Amino acid sequence: MILNSISEKPVGVIGAGNFGTVIANILALNRRVLLYTRDEQTAARIKSENQNRGYALHSNVEPVHDLEQLARQCDVLFPMVPSLHFRAMMRQLSPYLQPYHILIHGTKGFDITLPPGQSLENVTRLTRQQVKTMSEVIQEESVVVRVGCLAGPNLAKELAQRQPGATVVASHFNEVIQIGKRMLRNDRFQVYENSDIVGVEIAGVLKNIIAIASGALSGLGYGENAKGLLISRGAVEMVYLGRALGGDLKAFLGVAGIGDLVTTCNSPMSRNFTVGYRLAKGETLSDILADMTEVAEGVNTVRIAKKCADHYKVRALITDRLYKVLFEGMTVEEALEFLMRYPLNVDIDFI
Amino acid sequence: MELLEEKKNKNRKYEPILEGIPEWPVYQLSKNRKEFIELVTRHSIKRIKELRPTRKQLIDELEATAYREQNRIKRNRWRVDPKDDSRFWSNIKNQLVDLSSKAPETAGPVEDVLLEKIVSRYANEIAGNFKPNSYRFTREVVKFWFQRLLNGARVKKFGAFFRNQYTLRDKIHVVGKVKMLRSLARKGTVVMVPTHFSNLDSILIGWVIHALGLPAFIYGAGLNLFNIKIFAYFMNSLGAYKVDRRKKNLPYLETLKMYSSLAIQKGAHSLFFPGGTRSRSGLIEKQLKLGLLSTAIEAQRNLYQETPAGEVRKIFVVPVTLNYNFVLEAPDLVEDYLQVKGQDKYFQEQDKYGSIELLRFLFKFFTKGSNISVSIGPGLDVMGNYLDDDGNSLDPQGRVIDTRGYFISNGSITDDKQREDEYTRMLSNRIVTEYHRINRVFASHLAAFIAFEMWQKKHPKLDLFSLLRLPEEDLELDYAEFRATFKRVRKKIYEMKDEGRMHYATHLKGKVDQVIKLGIENVGIFHLKRPLLKNKKGNIITKDLTVLYYYHNRLAGYDLEQYI
């Protein structure tokens, strides 16, 4: 009932990356969508070519480059920018936001705030004071409180081809979940609800760690048994870490947890997977990162998760070994050997 | 005591912000008491029917209510309970039994009558009864006698008893955002939410409100307080409404919330203890009761809804902490706490302290040292945003926010219970953060904290219960060691103050030996068994570790343990 008339106002998508563009197209099935990109030329180019990153634009999508206009015209916004730029984007957007705005983001990553002189490389421990999820950044930087996030096994390419898929819309506010659901859902895209937004966000980030490990196993030439082992133990580790960071168990068992984890561990095209694969082939991290145009989110995630695990005294073996491989020169074989010999063999002890 | 007096008081006298009592919202409310109770009854019935939409659900609810009430009468009777309690409820129960055999058409109207009877009874019981004359009388009596006691005890001259050199303001320090509170009370409706450690809080805060020149607030006071005659008199004259924590049934809770919500909407400044009950452990409240808190948010939304455009009277939430060296009930409170720790059990309200004990305590309090300080926190809007001096809500960057927007969905204000529940939770977290920030550390709190933590550290393998079972004679802290730790932690507290994470009383800044002396002398000063003492060797000992634990808890939750 509330939602009928919401379709009259356009919906905003912030960030015209792969995922942003595809989500804009999904939203555009039933309403007008404003797709924000930072600079005027890009907006003009998208408009004239009527496509972005190889995805044809739905006729309801209009590229824009003015945040003020975006905030004025839309009540509901979907920020889809990389975690590295998220806070800066929010600072620019914040002056135009009002308490009635609803933000549902689709960014998987942590935001790190460190005192001057410290960096992610040299800091030894991280706490939740320094590590924030995107929904927390939104609330810190703006007056918006009705925040949601969407997460799940959502490879942009498959979504664009209208292959069947699903996502989770998570928020403390039922209102936000219903709006997100109503806007995103179609006959090829199922939307699930979750009230534990922080858990869902954390699940979406932590799975990147396991994706690197999955690439590494593949690089060593191992098959499906090894992958099954990794995914199940990886999920357990995500639960441990996630709970320490303030998430609830359930989020990790759902679409945004196991669902996303399985997808990511099986998609050799992903950057995280590639990092692991090439490490296993004997390349060094700096060589691998040198040929990548974009940073693999998982590399930073390993750093952050390891330092959080140390602070909260969580046993996170896979993360810990990966950290040693990535930054301390351990080989993938050594790491694997350690894990296979580790004496603790309780399967599940958190339910 | 003289060595470390508080900074000579900025505690000047405040002029009343509203001229005469007839202008006070609380007076308006009590003048139209009957109409107001009817209004509350009507709205509560409507709300209850929304929550229990079918006949069947409503009957089940009423049956449950009658059952619980009869149980309460059997198990836990209080002096304040009305004489006809038992008769009333057995009557209701009988009528409910009769209902079950009737046809739905005839049962309907009877059911409505029963619901109205119950709700109206509750509304009458809850409603306060503010009487200007009695308010004035109480105020003067309290002021007169407190002054006599103070001066008689402290001015060492003949005829001191009738001097006016000291006033209550020298005994009770009000610090913090006083000016802001006064200005907010002129611009909107204030909902004051203090921490709750002692039964005395209710009276203390009443005095503070008067001393700051504010009109009387309506008060959510525990009905158990009305068992004590002297309290009952005070509370009634201060405009208290009664909160009975034994009654957990839906009609009662909804009526109570409606009373608070409507009173706030009518502009009556309100006060309730959001912790719900006195802190049993001595910890600053971490979890607040959301019921009454939600009424502030609901009232604000209703005000916006009633006035679609233009100025709306805003509701301001003001957190307050009360800082004591001594809590009369501490030994019993902490005993309760330890008994139920780990189990979510209901505390029986037992007040062993009757009028005489209270008077005796007050006498000691005024004649000996031990000051009290009241920290007034910054005003917040119902979403927990800070305010500027004009009562505008500010975002973290200092921009003005239109609070109305929080209730708007797709262009218009909507009534969304789940959303407001979430807002209430957010507000509650904000209040708790503010409590920790405005809390004022006394030397006695710090001494208790350090001594207890040092003992804990010396017995790392013992859990709390085993630690508390250690014989007190075996516990002794070397003074030099204690002093060094005290200095270290105090330094940390200075830093935390600079970061805006807590406050301390000015006396904490003195020479370390003197501060420690002051702390040890004052912690739990009037208890028979003192929580901290110095022995002949000059070392620190305790006569009651459990009570020490209680006072130590005041500083728990700041992560100071790591500096011990």
Q: Which CATH number does the domain housing residue B156 bear?
A: 3.40.1130
A157 is catalytic: no
Residues B172 and B240 in one domain: yes
pLDDT for residue B329: 79
Per-residue model confidence as pLDDT tens digits over B192-231: 999 998 877 887 888 888 888 888 888 888 887 777 777 7
Q: Taking 80 as the threshold, does the pLDDT of residue A203 lie above it? A: yes
Residue of A nearest to B386 (CA): A143
Q: Residue B558: pLDDT above 60?
A: yes
Contacts of A3 in chain B (CB under 8 A): 410
Helices (H) and strands (E) in chain A, counts: 17, 12
Chain A residues with CB under 8 Å of B400 CB are none
Compute the average pLDDT of residues B35-58.
Answer: 92
The confidence band for B328, taking pLDDT boundaries of 50, 70 and 90, is confident
Q: Which domain holds residue B116?
A: 23-126
Would the pLDDT of A235 be above 90?
yes
- Inform me whether the C-beta atom of residue A122 falls under 8 Å from chain B C-beta atoms: no
In the predicted structure, residue B132 carries a pLDDT above the cut 70: yes
Dihedral, A172, A175, A180, A181 alpha carbons, nearest 10: 100
Beta-carbon separation of B401 and A95 below 8 A: no
SS3 letters for A278-317? HHHCCCCHHHHHHCCCCCCHHHHHHHHHHHHHHHHCCCCH
Among B126, B156, B183, the domain boundary falls at B126
Q: Is residue B1 part of a domain?
A: no
pLDDT in tens, B508-526: 998 999 999 999 988 887 7
Pairs of residues, one from chain A and one from chain B, whose beta carbons lie less than 8 Å apart:
54
Pair B336, B409 in one domain:
yes
Tell which residue, B457, B486, B455, B481, has the closest CA to residue B468. B455
Q: How confident is the model at residue B343 (pLDDT cuts 50, 70, 90)?
A: low
Residue of B nearest to A75 (CA): B410
Q: Does residue B11 have a pLDDT over 90?
A: no
- Whether A77 and A105 have beta carbons less than 8 Å apart is answered as no
Residues of chain B with C-beta less than 8 angstroms from the C-beta of A146: 419
Task: State the average pLDDT over residues B245-259.
Answer: 92
Do B358 and B385 fall within a single domain?
Answer: yes
Domain-located, residue B3: no
Quote the minimal CA–CA distance from A102 to chain B in Å: 9
Are B79 and B60 part of one and the same domain?
Answer: yes
> The whole model's pTM is what?
0.88
Task: Choose the weakest-confidence range: A264-278, B352-366, B403-417.
Answer: B352-366
Chain A, 147 to 206: residues with Cβ < 8 Å from chain B are: 172-175
B247 and B73 in contact (C-beta within 8 Å)?
no
* Cβ–Cβ below 8 Å for B395 and A142: yes
**Predicted confidence band of residue B7 (pLDDT cuts 50, 70, 90):** very low
Q: Across the interface, do B405 and A98 touch by the CB < 8 Å criterion?
A: yes
Amino acid at A171: S
Same domain, B450 and B434: no
Average pLDDT, chain A: 92
Residue B1 has pLDDT above 50, yes or no: no
Query: Has residue A328 got a pLDDT over 60?
Result: yes
**Confidence (pLDDT) at A4:** 46
Percent share of chain B, pLDDT over 90: 44
Q: Which of B438, B465, B499 is the last residue of a domain?
A: B438
pLDDT exceeds cutoff 90 at B384: yes
Higher per-residue pLDDT: A8 or B8: A8
Question: How many domains, chain B?
Answer: 3
Residue-wise pLDDT tens digits, B66-124: 999 999 998 888 888 888 889 999 999 998 888 877 777 777 788 889 999 999 999 99
Residue tagged active-site, from A132, A181, A207, A306? A207
Q: Is B418 in contact with A5 (Cβ distance < 8 A)?
A: no
Do B264 and B118 have their domain in common?
no
For residue B43, the surrounding DSSP H or E stretch is: helix B33-51
Using a CB–CB cutoff of 8 Å, tell me whether A95 touches chain B: yes
User: Which residues of A, range 49-78, sit inside 8 Å of B by Cβ?
Assistant: 75
Confidence of residue B451 (pLDDT cuts 50, 70, 90): very high
Say what percent of chain A tops pLDDT 70: 97
Query: For A138-152, B165-179, B312-326, which range has the lowest pLDDT when averaged over its residues?
Result: B165-179
Average pLDDT rounded to a whole number, residues B151-170:
58
Q: In chain B, which residues have their Cβ closer than 8 Å to the Cβ of A175?
A: 409, 416, 418-419
Is B401 close to A140, i.e. CB distance below 8 A? no
Per domain, the residue ranges of chain A are: 2-195, 199-341
Contact A5 B411 (CB under 8 A): yes
Write the residue in B396, B404, B422 that is nearest to A173 by C-beta: B422
> Which of A98, A101, A173 lies at the smallest CB-CB distance from B419?
A173
Task: Pick the more confident residue, A142 or B24.
Answer: A142
Instruction: Go through B280-314 and write b for each residue having 16 or more CB atoms within 10 A of its CB, e for each that does not.
Output: bbbbbbeebbbbbbbbbbbbbbbbbeeeeeeebbb
Which is it for strands B372-376 and B172-176: parallel, antiparallel or unpaired? parallel
Question: Does B385 contact A143 at a Cβ distance shorter than 8 Å?
Answer: yes
| pLDDT for B344 beyond 70 | no
Q: Do domains A2-195 and A199-341 have the same CATH topology?
A: no
Q: Chain B: which residues have CB within 8 Å of chain A?
A: 383, 385, 395-397, 399, 401-406, 408-411, 414, 416, 418-419, 422-423, 426
Give the pLDDT score at B363: 66
The mean per-residue pLDDT over the stretch B150-160 comes to 57
Q: Is the pLDDT of residue B346 over 50?
A: no
Q: What is the DSSP string of B381-444?
A: -TTS-BB-TTS-EE-TTS-EE-GGGGGEETTEE---HHHHHHHHHHHHHHHHHHHHHH-EE-HH
Q: Cβ contact (<8 Å) for B419 and A141? A: no
Q: How many CB atoms lie within 10 A of CB A67?
A: 20
Q: Are B428 and B452 contained in the same domain?
A: no
Confidence of residue B369 (pLDDT cuts 50, 70, 90): low
> Same domain for B296 and B397?
yes
Residue B379 belongs to some domain of the structure: yes
Give the whole-number percent of chain B exceeding pLDDT 70: 87
Select from A5, A101, A143 the Cβ nearest to the Cβ of B395: A143
The CATH class of the A199-341 domain is mainly alpha
Please tell me whether residues B556 and B532 are part of one structural domain. yes
Instruction: Give pLDDT, residue A295.
Output: 67
A93 pLDDT more than 80: yes
Whether residue B253 is found in the same domain as residue B116: no
> By the CB < 8 Å criterion, does A100 face chain B?
yes
Nearest residue of B to residue A95 by CA position? B399
DSSP assignment of B140-169 equals HHHHHHHHHHHHHHH--STTGGG--S--HH
Cβ pair A9:B419 closer than 8 A: no
Tell which of B397, B410, B499 to mutate to test the A interface (max A CBs under 10 Å). B410
Contact status, residue A160 vs residue A29, Cβ threshold 8 Å: no
pLDDT, tens digit, 9 for 90 and up, residues A283-304? 999 899 888 876 678 899 999 9
**Mean pLDDT of all residues in B440-457:** 94
pLDDT of residue A3: 44
For B115-217, strand residue ranges (E) read 172-176, 189-194
In a domain, B276, yes or no: yes
A5 to chain B: which residues are within 8 Å by CB? 410-411
Flag whether B209 is in a domain: yes
Q: What is the mean pLDDT of residues B1-26?
A: 62
Q: Mean pLDDT over all residues of chain B?
A: 84
User: Which of B304, B409, B416, B419 to probe the A interface (max A CBs under 10 A)?
Assistant: B409
- What is the average per-residue pLDDT within B392-414? 91
Among A2, A9, A140, beta carbon nearest to B396: A140
| A115 interface with B at CB cutoff 8 Å | no
Interval B333-361 mean pLDDT = 65
The reply to whether B110 and B182 lie within a common domain is no
Give me the pLDDT at residue B353, please: 61
**Which tops the pLDDT comparison, A277 or B329?**
A277
Residues B238 and B102 in one domain: no
Given CATH 3.40.50.150, say whether it is the number of domain A2-195. no
Please report which confidence band the pLDDT of residue B5 belongs to, taking 50, 70 and 90 as the band edges.
very low
Last residue of a domain, one of B406, B438, B470: B438
